[in-house]
Amino acid sequence: MEMKIYVFLLSSFLLISLCSPAAYKPVDSIFLSCGAPKNDKDSQGRTWLGDVGNKVPISTSNSDTVRAEVQDASLPSQVPYMSARIFTSNSSYDFKVSADTKHYLRLHFYPSVYNDLIPQRAFFAVSVAGVTLLRNFSAYITAQALSQAYIVKEFSIPPSPTGKLTVVFSPAQEDKDSYAFVNGIEVISIPDQIYSSPASMVGFASQAVDIGSTALQTMYRINAGGQYVPPENDAGLSRDWYDDSLYIYGAGFGVTFSAPSNFTLEYPEVVPVYMAPPSVYRTARSMGPDPKINVNYNLTWMFQVDANFTYVVRFHFCELIMTKINQRVFNIYINNQTAQAEADVIGWASKRGVPIYKDYVIPVLDVAPGKDVDLSVALQPSETTKPEFLDAILNGLEIFKMSDAGNLAGPNPEPSPMMAEAEKKNSRGFAKANSISVTRVLLVVLAGGIVGLGLAFLLCVFMPKRNRNDSNNKVVSTMDCGNSGWLPLYSGHSTTTGSKSTISGKSTTSTHLSSLAASLCRHFSITEIKQATKKFDESLVIGVGGFGKVYKGIIDGGTKVAVKRSNPSSEQGMNEFQTEIELLSKLRHKHLVSLIGYCEEADEMILVYDYMGNGTLREHLYKTSNPPLSWKQRLEICIGSARGLHYLHTGAKYTIIHRDVKTTNILVDEKWVAKVSDFGLSKTGPMGANEGHVSTVVKGSFGYLDPEYFRRQQLTEKSDVYSFGVVLFEVLCGRPALNPNLPKEQVSLADWALMCQRKGTLDEIIDPFIRDSINPECLQKFADTAEKCLLDQGSLRPSMGDVLWNLEFAMQMQDNSGTAGGDGGDGTAGEGGGNGHGDGGDGESVAGGGNPTLDFVNISLVEGIGGREN
Ligand SMILES: *[C@@H]1O[C@H](CO)[C@@H](O)[C@H](O)[C@H]1NC(C)=O
Ligand SMILES: *[C@@H]1O[C@H](CO)[C@@H](O)[C@H](O)[C@H]1NC(C)=O
Ligand SMILES: *[C@@H]1O[C@H](CO)[C@@H](O)[C@H](O)[C@H]1NC(C)=O
Ligand SMILES: *[C@@H]1O[C@H](CO)[C@@H](O)[C@H](O)[C@H]1NC(C)=O
Ligand SMILES: *[C@@H]1O[C@H](CO)[C@@H](O)[C@H](O)[C@H]1NC(C)=O
Ligand SMILES: *[C@@H]1O[C@H](CO)[C@@H](O)[C@H](O)[C@H]1NC(C)=O
């Protein structure tokens, strides 16, 4: 073993190039918007050529250029999806390309109504140079099964000696009404090195397989431990790299971490800089700090694939922590077979910060026909070489399907029972298909983040059905705002979906999906809970809320926890219980309360959280025997909770709206760190959407309720901003949001504080305990911020990021108040600069977790969501 590592080391050491290679500029880079009359830009700023009038030869006698009648809200951009070319007989596009390189061919399909042609009738084949890429393909069925509005298929096509790439569309012959269509075609040359090295055959390590000469279909491309990397950040190759967390199987999520910004990557000669973007190599997922746990589980990802094909599985590695050989050694399994024993990234790469990749080839057979076929990738710490740590690491993964006898096409996926149901309900012709797509959008929007049917279902039930034809509800044309992170990647259905093989298509298989959230946190038995709380002893009650009582408890012989026991009465409680588990189990942030586990047994719904030594923020503000908090402590708590909320709104690909921000939902731990709690009412909403909102039944707490939300029943993240504004005034004035005992104009703090602020008499209502210690500039900043939060019109309120930034600025003014007063920097920094700030603070490093070298990297607290990387 020693010997082998040594040889690896030596050979790869020589290959490290000292100069950094230049970025890749593809020879051919064609973006064709089919059926479009002119060139146009997509939301990422890429120009797509219109195929009408451009010099792209189309061989066809029967084709038509059309526009979609409906723009699905989840389309990332109008271009290329809103226009299409329809073929009613065999037709082809002939692209003139360089003769000696491979090409990525990406086909974009948006199954929608075009000129009265219904998308259910489109069945067709696509082939290139004798390879069948798609056969009897229905974009409609595929999109339905994946809960997506559109489909992108990516293929790697071997070089064409004639310099011509001919893409043939053939409508199915069985049905004479069938037609073929396509919305967009990308042709991008692939640098040779991407598929130049042979892959090793799993089970026959000595057998090298050439993957360079066959056609491939990209099935999955993920960024382990990191976030979605959009095409424009991918070195000229325009690939998408998706977050890996939803592919993780079982309870073991490991930990994610990312390199600090001053960490440099050194691409060796064998790994060109375009192999994978730096943001893929700069983030990773490993098993965790506890060796005892690590040896008892496999870090496993699960992918649905088509049976009876051979797959190339490409692993991207880059060590960010370890520096020496035999520190982190692990086994790699694909479908339970050893692909690589004793993998040692430093052994391969020679040192930290050097990216490498490894390819393995494995055939996937149909074990039980009719069942979904999975390809699993598992990492397991190896003990045989007695490494320093028992751990494993992965930075990125790609899975390619190899063509088999000139064929890459698999069957259409089976729609899930739920989709089939929705379809049946709406089966009065395609006139109703629009409402199906509303359901689908909802599912996409929700399931995208939440991993769980529970919530998706809940929201579907809660949300009033929207009618697309209603002119007030123009979802159309509001979506070209460049939300590249807001893609419909995930299928949200639960059982036996045959979701398959689209590159953007996430397929979490049924069984894992529903159990995922549950498996992320601990399950307690009712006996354990009773033991922890001395059979729900009343003396241990630390809080009572709408949900029920909260008890202090002790588990594992010493760990303090808060045990929230529901009133078994309300059904609403059940929904909120599920929401909270689904959300909290996936979210980890310093300023969000952590869920430790739950108990659902004998009619009990119990949630177990970290114990917050200092209780709620309100307990420290008024009607309390606690000593009053200083102004700085208050400001710090406001900043912490703003950070937590900002993370909820923007930290993930999707926006989470808390909906019940108030001082009793902001908790404080022993070290006075503020944490946002109580997600029972939370909802996901459109990301960063200026126009987007989630319609919903009005919920929340009086005194904090956004008047706009109340009026229009439309929820946006700005509703949380409003409530937070009330919290800010509550903290400043030391009085409740509503106090019915006061004169009428003073009952509502929001109204009263705003009136005082506008009259310039705010001073008079500040909590007397802190009035004299507040620096006047700090006060002004703070009060201005709170006032803006309370603006009537949500769109005019600042974002949580802006609020956070302003509060930090106020803190600085308070800190500087001893020294020479407010320097002139104020004006420039204060203007709109908010957006860029705050973000960085989220990936805060957590205490290392036992690993001696961990201080080198920021471990992002967020399991499965990963640190931001831009
Ligand atoms: C159209 O293409 C299909 C599949 O490629 C082929 O089987 C069929 O013969 C073609 N039809 C005509 C009329 O060329
Ligand atoms: C990166 O920055 C951190 C703190 O800013 C510093 O401790 C560390 O030494 C730096 N690392 C490198 C490789 O420059
Ligand atoms: C895979 O091949 C087996 C054996 O030839 C066959 O029974 C099965 O139907 C095939 N599965 C698919 C999905 O094509
Ligand atoms: C791999 O092993 C697990 C249990 O250890 C089993 O459930 C699964 O079906 C196996 N997968 C394959 C492809 O054999
Ligand atoms: C990890 O996966 C391998 C290969 O499938 C299996 O033999 C082993 O039992 C698994 N280990 C655990 C702890 O599940
Ligand atoms: C084409 O696909 C549809 C839907 O998946 C299926 O019902 C039909 O049998 C297929 N036709 C052929 C010829 O394979």
Q: Is the preceding peptide bond at 80 cis, omega within 30 degrees of 0?
A: yes
Q: Fill in the amino acid letter for 867.
A: G
Evaluate: CB of 300 within 6 angstroms of ligand 4.
no
- Tokens 């603006």, located at residue: 791
Q: CATH number for the domain including 556?
A: 3.30.200.20
| CA–CA distance, 682 with 715 (Å, rounded to integer) | 11
d(CA 198, CA 13): 20
Atom 4 of ligand 5 has which residue's CA nearest to it? 336
pLDDT at 44: 82
Q: Which ligand 2 atom sits closest to the C-alpha of 261? A: 1
Count of C-beta atoms within a 10 Å radius of residue 768: 10
Residues counted in the chain:
870
146 belongs to a structural domain = yes
What ligand is nearest to the CA atom of residue 252?
5
Q: Is the CB of 336 under 6 A from ligand 4?
A: yes
- The DSSP output letter for 203 is T
Q: Is the CB of 260 under 6 A from ligand 2?
A: yes
Whether 368 lines ligand 4, by a CB cut-off of 6 Å, is no
How far the first Cα of the chain sits from its last, in Å, is 39
Q: Which residues of the chain have pLDDT under 70?
A: 1-23, 54-56, 147, 251, 370-371, 415-520, 545-547, 568-576, 579, 583-586, 652-654, 679-701, 710-714, 818-870
6 occurs within a structural domain: no
d(C-alpha 588, C-alpha 560), whole Å: 19
pTM above 0.85, yes or no: no
pLDDT score at 653: 53
Q: Which ligand is nearest to the CA of 414?
A: 6
- Residue 367 beta carbon below 6 angstroms from any ligand 3 atom: no
Q: How far apart are CA 744 and CA 277, in angstroms?
A: 61
Q: Whose CA is nearest to atom 6 of ligand 5?
A: 336
Ligand nearest to the CA of 305: 3
Q: Whose CA is nearest to atom 1 of ligand 2?
A: 262
Indicate the residue among 190, 224, 248 that finishes a domain.
190
Among 610, 629, 664, residue at a domain's last position: 610
Cα 174 from Cα 866, distance rounded (Å): 48
327 vs 224, 289, 332, 340, 386, CA distance in Å?
20, 13, 16, 17, 9
Distance 504 CA to ligand 1 centre (A): 29
Q: Could you give phi then psi for residue 340, rounded to 5 degrees?
A: -150, 120
Cβ contacts of 798 within 8 Å, gap of 6 or more:
721, 785, 788, 789, 806, 834
Is the distance from CB of 468 to CB of 434 less than 8 angstroms? yes
Count Cβ atoms within 10 A of the Cβ of residue 213 and give its class: 0-12 exposed, 13-18 middle, 19 or more buried.
exposed
Q: Measured between alpha carbons, how far is 256 from 224 in angstroms, rounded to an integer?
A: 8
Does some domain include residue 661? yes
Q: Considering the domain boundaries, does residue 762 fall inside one?
A: yes
Give me the DSSP letters along 503-555: SS-B---HHHHHHHHHHHSEE--HHHHHHHTTTT-GGGEEEE-SSEEEEEEEE
How far apart are alpha carbons 858 and 870 in whole angstroms?
A: 15
Please check whether residues 391 and 513 belong to one and the same domain: no
- Tokens coding 32: 């064709």
**Gap from CA of 308 to ligand 3 centroid (Å):** 6
Ligand 4, pocket-test mutation among 336, 510, 511, most atoms within 8 A of CB: 336
Q: What spacing in Å lies between the alpha carbon of 174 and ligand 3's midpoint?
A: 23
DSSP SS3 for 310: strand
Q: Which two tokens stand for residue 447?
A: 């399931």
Same domain as 361, residue 310: yes
Residue whose C-alpha is closest to residue 182's, from 156, 150, 147: 150
Tokens found for residue 738: 């509503």
Q: Please check if 564 is assigned to a binding site.
A: yes
CA distance 666 to 678: 9
Ligand approaching nearest to the C-alpha of 298: 5
Q: Is 404 a catalytic residue?
A: no
Q: Considering 380, 395, 414, which residue would you say is the last residue of a domain? A: 414
- Kindly state whether residues 353 and 330 are assigned to the same domain: yes
Residue 627, CB-side half-sphere exposure with 13 Å CA sphere: 3
Give pLDDT, residue 654: 64
Spatial strand order in the sheet of 559-566: 522-523, 595-601, 604-610, 559-566, 548-555, 541-544
Distance from the alpha carbon of residue 809 to the mean position of ligand 3, in angstroms: 64
Instruction: Round to whole Å and give the CA distance between 846 and 855.
Output: 9
CA-CA distances (angstroms) from residue 179 to 72, 107, 135, 171, 200?
A: 21, 16, 13, 5, 41
Instruction: Work out the burial of residue 120: count CB atoms within 10 Å of its CB; fewer than 13 is exposed, 13-18 middle, 19 or more buried.
Output: middle
pLDDT of residue 98: 93
Q: Are 643 and 804 in contact (CB under 8 A)?
A: yes
> What is d(CA 730, CA 401) in angstroms, rounded to the nearest whole number?
59
Kindly state the helix (H) or strand (E) to which residue 370 belongs, with its residue range: none
Question: Hey, whose CA ends up nearest to atom 12 of ligand 4?
Answer: 335
CA-wise closest residue to 1 among 259, 301, 344, 242: 344
Cβ partners under 8 Å of residue 863, min gap 6: 245, 253, 254, 255, 256, 520, 586, 588
The pLDDT value recorded for residue 378 is 97
User: In the structure encoding, which two tokens stand for residue 585, read together?
Assistant: 């189990």
What is the reported pLDDT for 708? 74
Q: Is residue 394 classed exposed, middle or buried when 0-12, 13-18 and 19+ CB atoms within 10 A define those classes?
A: buried
Q: Which domain holds residue 512?
A: 467-610
User: How far is it, in rounded angstroms, from Cα 687 to Cα 682?
Assistant: 14
- Measured in angstroms, how far is the CA atom of residue 298 from the centroid of ligand 5? 6
**Residues lining ligand 5, CB < 6 A?**
296-298, 333, 336, 378, 380
- Residue 725 CB coordination number (10 Å): 27
Together in a domain, 556 and 693: no
Query: Is 370 a pocket residue for ligand 3 (Cβ < 6 Å)?
Result: no
Q: Is residue 422 included in any domain, yes or no?
A: no
Are both 573 and 639 inside the same structural domain? no
What is the DSSP track for 762-811? GGGGS-TTTGGGS-HHHHHHHHHHHHHHT-SSGGGSPPHHHHHHHHHHHH
Using DSSP's 3-state secondary structure scheme, residue 142 falls into: helix
Query: If we measure between CA atoms, which residue out of 532, 536, 571 comes closest to residue 550?
Result: 536
Is residue 27 within 8 A of residue 99, CB to CB? The reply is no
* Predicted local distance difference test score (pLDDT) of residue 77: 87
Q: What ligand is nearest to the CA atom of residue 300?
A: 5
- The pLDDT assigned to 190 comes to 94
Taking each helix axis from N to C end, the angle separating 749-759 and 717-733, rounded to the nearest 10 degrees, works out to 70
H or E stretch covering 400? strand 396-402
Query: Sheet of 393-394: strands edge to edge?
Result: 393-394, 283-286, 255-258, 858-859
Count of alpha carbons within 13 Å of 279, Cβ hemisphere only?
22
Give the SS3 label for residue 846.
coil
Surface-to-core class of residue 3, CB atoms within 10 Å of its CB (0-12 exposed, 13-18 middle, 19+ buried): exposed
CATH code of the domain in which 643 resides = 1.10.510.10
Q: Are 504 and 489 in contact (CB under 8 A)?
A: yes
Is 34 in contact with 80 (CB distance < 8 Å)? yes
Q: Is residue 409 part of a domain?
A: yes
Smallest CA separation from ligand 4 atom 5, residue: 336
- Same domain membership, residue 633 and residue 712: yes
List the Cα angle 786/788/791 in 5-degree steps: 115
Is residue 458 in a domain? no
C-alpha to C-alpha distances, 487 to 141, 149, 647, nearest whole angstrom: 19, 10, 19
| Same structural domain, 59 and 88 | yes
Residues 698, 842 within the same domain:
yes
CB 257 within 8 A of CB 225: yes
Sole residue written with tokens 């909403």: 685
Q: Whose structure tokens read 């809970």?
A: 529
pLDDT score for 710: 63
79 with 103, same domain: the answer is: yes
Mutate to test the pocket of ligand 6, among 140, 173, 306, 412 (most ligand atoms within 8 A of CB): 412
**Cα separations in angstroms, 516 against 136, 333, 483, 587:** 34, 21, 27, 13
| CB-count exposure of residue 769 (10 Å: 0-12, 13-18, 19+) | middle
Output the CA 136–ligand 6 centroid distance in Å. 6
Catalytic residue among 660, 706, 720, 767: 660
Radius of gyration of the chain (CA): 28
Is residue 223 a part of any domain in this protein? yes
Q: Is the CB of 262 under 6 A from ligand 2?
A: yes
Q: What does the block give as tokens for 662? A: 């108030």
Calpha distance 245→680 (Å, rounded): 23
The count of structural domains within the chain is 4
Q: How many CB atoms lie within 10 A of CB 710?
A: 12
Q: pLDDT value at position 713?
A: 61
Looking from the CA of residue 412, the nearest atom of ligand 6 is 5
Is 182 in the same domain as 273? no
Interatomic CA distance for residues 303 and 509, integer angstroms:
8
pLDDT value at position 216? 96
Residue 201 and residue 147 share a domain: no
| Distance from residue 262's CA to the centre of ligand 2 (Å) | 6
Same domain for 683 and 717? yes
Instruction: Report the CATH number at residue 366.
Output: 2.60.120.430
Ligand 5: residue whose CA is nearest its atom 10: 298
Task: Determine the Cα–Cα distance for residues 318 and 282; give it in Å rounded to an integer.
Answer: 7
Alpha-carbon gap, residue 523 to 620, rounded angstroms: 33
